[in-house]
């Protein structure tokens, strides 16, 4: 079967890129990231990383790509920290250790990571030799399948966040809508909350020229998808789609809300924007909030 044309449900081939980012997080020194570093991950990440470095003098935008992954991961974690959630839900967590680090630092909250079955099994195998905090859970969950997060419960006034890092741009437009609706419905069922994701607008990628095309070609070979075609044309299109899926107050996070953005390598050239989208609390929660 041609996976590029007929990706299987949940697109498990995308999981391969999770090994690459796990090695990126280990390379950049994120907490506990060495737990998930692997030969396979390094074989995917390091050639791209050193290729980007070599490109930087002649193509600064594409050359900053691998370094900008560091900032993406860091900004997601800083956003989660700033939300002070009672419940944090990361979908497509891959081999990221953000949830474990956050749960360990905040024992009074609950962090749940979801991913496809194979990735969860790989993750469990590696976690078996480590001490995982009790307020951290790992579950199988498919953004495109039915009943995502169906077992989750929370108190009515809980602060709930959801995030997908490096996940929805691997989905085509119809799948993005399904995924975003599933997250919107989950947050609505939990009484409202905020969602963070990154979007690579096609118009931004196209300014990277030939090096950008080569990078996307490499990602196409790993993920089995023509990623450029699947991207939103621009941030307006992404925002309109998220609103259509039920989110409100959808906004691109401005530079001054991104921790230490000024120190990011060539941040003006980064390939992605971070978008925050909200599901307002239902009338019951809003009434209780007002009464507090």
Ligand X SMILES: C[S@@+](CC[C@H](N)C(=O)[O-])C[C@H]1O[C@@H](n2cnc3c(N)ncnc32)[C@H](O)[C@@H]1O
Task: For residue 275, give the 3-state DSSP assignment.
Answer: strand
Closest separation in Å from C-beta 178 to ligand X: 9
Closest separation in Å from C-beta 18 to ligand X: 3
- The residues binding ligand X (CB under 6 A) are 10-11, 14-15, 17-18, 21, 91-94, 96, 114-116, 119, 142-144, 165-167
The position carrying tokens 């621009």 is 234
Cα separation, 43 vs 273, in Å, equals 27
Q: How long a stretch of residues is the chain?
A: 292
- CA distances (Å), origin 167, targets 21, 95, 197: 12, 13, 8
Closer of 106 and 176 to ligand X (Cβ)? 176
Closest separation in Å from C-beta 212 to ligand X: 18
Closest separation in Å from C-beta 145 to ligand X: 7
Residues 6+ apart with CB under 8 A from 292: 157
Closest separation in Å from C-beta 290 to ligand X: 36
Strands 273-279 and 248-252: antiparallel
Closer of 116 and 250 to ligand X (Cβ)? 116
Cα separation, 242 vs 221, in Å, equals 28
Closer of 168 and 281 to ligand X (Cβ)? 168
Closest separation in Å from C-beta 163 to ligand X: 8
Task: For residue 146, give the 3-state DSSP assignment.
Answer: coil
Closer of 14 and 160 to ligand X (Cβ)? 14
Closer of 19 and 247 to ligand X (Cβ)? 19
Give the CB-nearest residue to ligand X: 94
Whether residue 164 contacts residue 90, with contact meaning beta carbons closer than 8 Å, is answered with yes
Closer of 94 and 149 to ligand X (Cβ)? 94
What would the two tokens of residue 209 be? 């020229």
Number of neighbours of residue 162 by Cβ within 10 angstroms? 27
Whether residue 88 contacts residue 106, with contact meaning beta carbons closer than 8 Å, is answered with no
Closer of 66 and 281 to ligand X (Cβ)? 66
Beta-sheet strands, E only, within the chain:
87-91, 110-115, 136-140, 160-164, 193-199, 248-252, 273-279
Whether residue 202 contacts residue 234, with contact meaning beta carbons closer than 8 Å, is answered with yes
Task: Report, in this order, helix, strand and coil percent for the chain, each rounded to 5.
Answer: 50, 15, 35
Task: For residue 46, give the 3-state DSSP assignment.
Answer: helix
Closest separation in Å from C-beta 4 to ligand X: 15
Closest separation in Å from C-beta 92 to ligand X: 3
Closer of 75 and 281 to ligand X (Cβ)? 75
């Amino acid at each position: 079967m041609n996976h590029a044309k007929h990706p299987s449900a949940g697109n498990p081939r995308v999981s391969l890129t999770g090994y690459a980012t796990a090695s990126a997080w280990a390379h950049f020194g994120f907490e506990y990231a060495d737990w998930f570093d692997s030969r396979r991950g390094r074989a995917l990440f390091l050639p791209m990383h050193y290729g980007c470095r070599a490109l930087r003098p002649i193509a600064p935008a594409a050359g900053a790509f691998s370094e900008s992954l560091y900032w993406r991961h860091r900004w997601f974690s800083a956003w989660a920290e700033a939300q002070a959630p009672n419940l944090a839900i990361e979908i497509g967590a891959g081999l990221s250790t953000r949830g474990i680090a956050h749960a360990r630092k905040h024992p009074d909250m609950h962090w749940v990571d979801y991913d496809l079955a194979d990735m969860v099994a790989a993750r469990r195998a590696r976690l078996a030799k480590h001490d995982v905090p009790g307020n951290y859970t790992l579950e199988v969950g498919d953004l495109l399948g039915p009943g995502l997060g169906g077992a989750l419960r929370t108190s009515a006034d809980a602060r709930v966040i959801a995030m997908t890092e490096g996940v929805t741009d691997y989905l085509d437009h119809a799948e993005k809508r399904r995924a975003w609706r599933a997250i919107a419905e989950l947050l609505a069922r939990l009484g409202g909350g905020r969602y963070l994701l990154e979007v690579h607008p096609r118009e931004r990628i196209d300014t990277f020229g030939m090096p950008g095309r080569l990078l996307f070609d490499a990602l196409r070979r790993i993920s089995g998808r023509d990623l450029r075609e699947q991207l939103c044309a621009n941030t307006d299109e992404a925002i309109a789609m998220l609103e259509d899926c039920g989110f409100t107050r959808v906004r691109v996070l401005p530079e001054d809300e991104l921790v230490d953005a000024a120190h990011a390598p060539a941040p003006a050239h980064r390939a992605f924007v971070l978008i925050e989208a909200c599901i307002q609390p239902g009338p019951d929660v809003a009434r209780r909030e007002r009464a507090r």
